[in-house]
A and B are shown apart, each in its own frame.
Chain A
Amino acid sequence: MAIVKIDRDGKQHTVYVAGSAGDVWAFYDGHVYRSERPERPAEAGRYERGSERHGRYELNAPMPATVIKILVAPGQAVRHGDTLVVVEAMKMELPIRAPGDATVKAVNCREGELVQPDRALVELE
């Protein structure tokens, strides 16, 4: 981490900076900025709730979480906004919803299981 002083317009501005190459955090005047430049493009977006590849959606948990309820099964048709899986993290329930009308291709988790954000919990197409 570092405390960087920048001189500009006759004033000294203090910016707190921390992080490593490709993921740098900065704090300035009550605001936090994050400069993310993924060095491995394949991993870009892995912390997004879902990613689309060739018309298939993979829906991930947004953070390490426990699966508490699975509401769909493979082959089932779902509509935009339908809750597919409910996960719990930090004592909060987080519903994972369908990003559009689709068919459930696979469900890759079990109720009660602790899942990491890089795992596709539900695949849609």
Chain B
Amino acid sequence: MIARLLIANRGEIALRIIRACREMGVESVAVYSDADRHAPHVGAADRSVHIGPAPAVDSYLSARRVIDAARATGADAIHPGYGFLSENAAFAAECEQAGIVFVGPPSGVIAQMGSKIAARRLMQNAGVPVVPGETPHDQSDSGIAALVSRVGFPALVKASAGGGGKGMRRVDEAAQCVEAIQSARREAESAFGDGTLYVERLIEKPRHVEVQIFADNHDHTVHLFERECSVQRRHQKVIEESPSCIVNSRLRSRMTDAAVQAARACGYRNAGTVEFLVDTSGGRGTERFYFLEMNTRLQVEHPVTEQVTGLDLVRAQLLVASGEPLPWLSPSISQRGHAIEARVYAEDPSRGFLPQAGRLLLYREPRLPGIRIDSGVEEGSDIPVQYDAMIAKVIATAATRDEAIARLTCALRDFPILGVHTNVPFLLRILEHPRFRAGEVDTGFLDSEGASLATAGAEMPDVVREAIATYESSSRESRAASPESPAPSPQSRQDPWDLVKSWRS
């Protein structure tokens, strides 16, 4: 069994993994950049290592610094989380060479699945259907533009090394082509260090359905059913759920069979996700699905699967990485009830979803039955500009989809976050939308309806006006009462130890 695990990540996923370590008696090692000195994941781990300045390329994305930190602390394994180095085959290979267990598939599998061409070829050979497209050999603007016209509009230009919607552009007409290519390439280079682009035909109004798979070193490959993630904004998932309301038992068995087939074909190990686009344009019973990509890591939305199966995916990852067999096999795995996850981001929907940086002046997670919250912040935390703006995942579980939606709505209404704008009002409007309620949402839903969902809220209610007036007058009084205090606003967090320091000096 792994004795000491270094978690090469930050935020909620680092905390999620640290908690699994604690349950299993595995020592945890956190890493942090300058921007994260006081982040919750640092204090939660058994020990922590500073790995560099705030920019991710010099800290969380630096394979050398992460491996040095593992060596320095005697960690025998590294969990990459998601994002950062999680799908970096060279990093996995360096771990293997350094004799450190990489919690994930072998580096060769990451490399193969990370290359869209190799992944597609493999899937085609394994009998899994794929969407038409290719990575042009000629990676110049004109070479890529030529392929875009050949594949036809609308087309997608995306990072060959990508994921998470970074470095991805939709092209509707030839005039947009060059700007889209250049901007996708720049984003690909800065996010993945590799600007190679891939072009594919865009399937109109597809649904995004993915299958969680898991494989061990003892010839067991299982699936943990599907998740639907069709509510996406610019290819970034916003709401995820399981089961999918368009997947009936027949389609489910076809898709999960294909996913297990895909995992076996590439010699997969540990947790992975096979993403499919489902074309529902032919109506019920004639759905066609296409392999989109395989994510060779734990997904952001893994809690949805944990909630409907009752299984702990991170625990299983650590067992499998230690060489043990999977703790559960197919006949015992079932899908029960319905789970929905909403991602809470520090962004301002009324101003083009501009990412927000700042301090959480107030942050209170709701406590309700059937609600799980995976977060990486606490009241007073600073949201740094350098990283992804997700602050929490709220997961509602109930017997039915309608009940889960009602639960999630209640939880978000009761989740005060002040100091930075968040997408919570936007999430609530999605959950109330008739198309979402009816389960008639394709991946273009937010791009077509998003503008109306993102509009600024209504006038300030009288109750709020009165509360603000009460608050302001009480802060004026406290300011008058202590004239020597320079910043007497209620939000200034007076740390008693600061006073101690001033006494000593």
Contacts and interface: CB of A to CB of B under 8 A. Distances in A.
Interface of A: 1-2, 4, 6, 8, 13, 15-21, 24-33, 35, 62-65, 68-69, 83, 86, 88-94
A54 B345 CA distance: 38
Nearest to A62: B354
Given A6-B463, A17-B468, A63 B356 contact: yes
B388 A91 contact: yes
A28 B414 CA distance: 8
B459 to A, nearest CB: 9
B22 interface: no
A92 B470 contact: no
A39 B186 CA distance: 40
Contact of A91 (B166, B179, B470): B166
Given A6-B463, A25-B419, A30 B490 contact: no
A69 B417 CA distance: 34
A20 B468 contact: no
B362 interface: yes
B416 A16 contact: yes
Given A35-B468, A91-B387, A18 B490 contact: yes
B386 A90 contact: yes
B184 to A, nearest CB: 10
Contact of B425 (A8, A31, A86, A92): A31
B361 A18 contact: yes
Contact of A1 (B186, B187, B190, B362): B362
Interface stretch (B96-104, B130-138, B471-479): B471-479
Contacts of B490: 1-2, 18, 20
A61 B414 CA distance: 33
B460 A35 contact: yes
A16 B491 contact: no
Question: Can you list the 4 inter-chain pairs with the closest CB atoms, starting with the nearest?
Answer: A20-B489, A15-B467, A30-B413, A27-B416
A31 B416 CA distance: 8
Given A16-B362, A18-B362, A18-B490, A90 B387 contact: yes
A6 B491 CA distance: 21
Interface in B142-188: 166, 179, 183, 186-187
Contacts of A1: 361-362, 418, 490-491
Contacts of A28: 461, 463-464, 467
A69 B415 CA distance: 38
Interface in B324-354: 351, 354
Contacts of B107: none
Given A16-B364, A63-B355, A90-B385, A2 B474 contact: yes
B460 A33 contact: yes
Contacts of B354: 62-63, 94
Contacts of A19: 361, 418-419, 489, 491
Contacts of A13: 463, 467
Contact of B413 (A16, A24, A29, A86): A29
Interface in B88-145: none
Contact of A6 (B413, B422, B466): B466
A30 B418 CA distance: 11
B412 interface: yes
B492 interface: yes
Contact of B357 (A15, A18, A29, A63): A63
B489 A8 contact: no
Nearest to A88: B190
A123 to B, nearest CB: 22
A107 to B, nearest CB: 19
Interface in B426-465: 428, 457-458, 460-464
Nearest to A31: B457
B2 to A, nearest CB: 30
14 contacts: A1-B361, A17-B467, A19-B418, A19-B419, A20-B492, A26-B418, A28-B461, A30-B415, A32-B425, A35-B468, A63-B385, A89-B355, A93-B187, A94-B354
A2 B385 contact: no
Contacts of A32: 417-418, 421-422, 424-425, 457
Contacts of A89: 355, 357, 385
A37 to B, nearest CB: 10
B389 interface: yes
B385 A33 contact: no
B277 interface: no
B190 A90 contact: no
B191 interface: yes
A20 B186 contact: no
A68 B160 CA distance: 21
A24 B468 contact: yes
B385 A18 contact: no
Nearest to B55: A66
A93 B183 contact: yes
Nearest to A15: B467
A113 to B, nearest CB: 13
